[in-house]
Structure 1
Amino acid sequence: MPVFPPLRVRGSRHRLRRAVRRRRRAMAAGLAVAAAALAAVGARAPGHPDTGPPPPGAVAAASTGVQQAGAPSRPAAKAVDVVSAPVRIADAETVRLLRPGDRVDVIAAPDSSPVGAGGSGGAGGSVAARLVASGARVTDVPRSRGPSSPDEGALVVLSVPRATATALAGAGATSRLVVTWC
């Protein structure tokens, strides 16, 4: 048998390096896409609650790529504090129709009970009803614990801004409150 020189394949080492480089690029591209998707979804670390959508000023600053001077680097808290406000509604039968998640308007109607001698409900004239809260979300409708009279009304818990909760408490002390669905 004839003697053959050893067979040398040229460029095999370079092909292997090119394949590894291509695989690294594909891996880097995949990781970049995954990071972008997580950023778009708004993934949060465990234990950090979702603060909701950012305020309008933060969206404008983020879209232009310019951070406002003195603006915090983390998402700002909501501009309006939302609180739960228990409200006694004059008509108990209307409250029985409410369910959590419903949106209601709360209206303060002048109290028609006698104020002084003579039995008139005011100074002789009629006082117009006023809107106290608009688009309030019902969070809970507690059931009454015992027999109650229809004049007593019923309790409903609303999710409203802090200033509106204050207005509801004041109106509930001086007027009869009624609700309408939004």
Structure 2
Amino acid sequence: MSKTMPEAMSKTMPKSACAPAPSAPSPAFPPSTCPPARPVPPFPPLRVGRGADRLRRAVRRRRRAASAGLAVVAAALAVVGGTEAQASRGAPPPEVKPPPAAVRWVSAPVRIADAATVRLLRPGDRVDVVAAERTGPPRVVAAGARVVEVPAPEKGVGDGGALVVLSVPRDTARALVGAGTVARLAVTLC
């Protein structure tokens, strides 16, 4: 056992392990198992997430078809059913009424039996004038008449009531004058 250490190692280790590295570079990666590169065949581009557009187009087409169908039906009914539609209903054609004549408004002074009620009125108020006859039930002579003026109370008139000026149509003014001669007039606020 007098052998030195390097000699002992050289006998146990193969010569290739102790030899210096070869000068030629070795490949970094092992040989590849992939197939060789090939050209990519042409294909149309993929359109992802376009299903909603197809649905919208389909709905639009259906709407257009429904609109066109309704237009055709409406045109057919307009041509065919113009006069026959009224005859089939059994109703006579509506009468054409002339426009009403312009109503002339006049200011009518009216004596109201209760002076205290007249003092409550102001210009612009709306009132109903009621005629209270002794022989029959009370009746409304003017409905919704506008108060134009409330004159100051007259001196010397006892329980004769108070005067009020109303804006009413001409025919209603005639009725107020006639009712004031045969009945006591009262007002109610509208």
Q: Where on the TM-score scale, by shorter chain, does this alignment land: which range?
A: 0.3 to 0.5
Larger radius of gyration: 2
Calculate the TM-score normalised by the size of structure 2: 0.46
Q: Which of the pair has the greater relative contact order for Cα pairs under 8 Å at 6+ separation?
A: 1
